[in-house]
Amino acid sequence: MPDQNINDFFGQPSQTRYNQTVDALKATQSVFALADTDGCLIIPISGENILPIWLTKEQAEHWLTEEYEGFSALEIEAQAWLGKWLPGMANDQYKVGVCPNLAGECITVSAAELLSELA
């Protein structure tokens, strides 16, 4: 995906990016997180643990900065996301940051809520 398409995607409202992600997951598309040798990038905000996800490897990699040196995009297949990741995250009360733009703006939902929406 060329940079212009990424910038266009990130320029869309958070709700639009969220809806596109839900539609893609319903169509069994993979999602991407950022991970290093210790695991996935989890961002603590106001006492909550949030896993940011994106629709493409390029979108996830576009988020990489010096702050996240050593991280790379990790593909999570839809079946694993629905069957393993979301249930496990729901048990641990994690939230999902759906396609945050470069300013970190996104819709954040509980893993249980996202799993329910995808069911």
Residues 10-45 have pLDDT tens digits of 999 999 999 999 999 999 899 999 999 999 999 999
pLDDT of res. 63: 87
Supply the pTM of this predicted model: 0.91
Kindly write down the DSSP assignment for every residue of the chain, as one continuous string: --HHHHHHHHHS-HHHHHHHHHHHHHTT--EEEEEETTEE--EEETTEEEEEEBSSHHHHHHT--GGGTT-EEEEE-HHHIIIIIHHHHHHTT-EEEES--TT---EEEEHHHHHHHH-
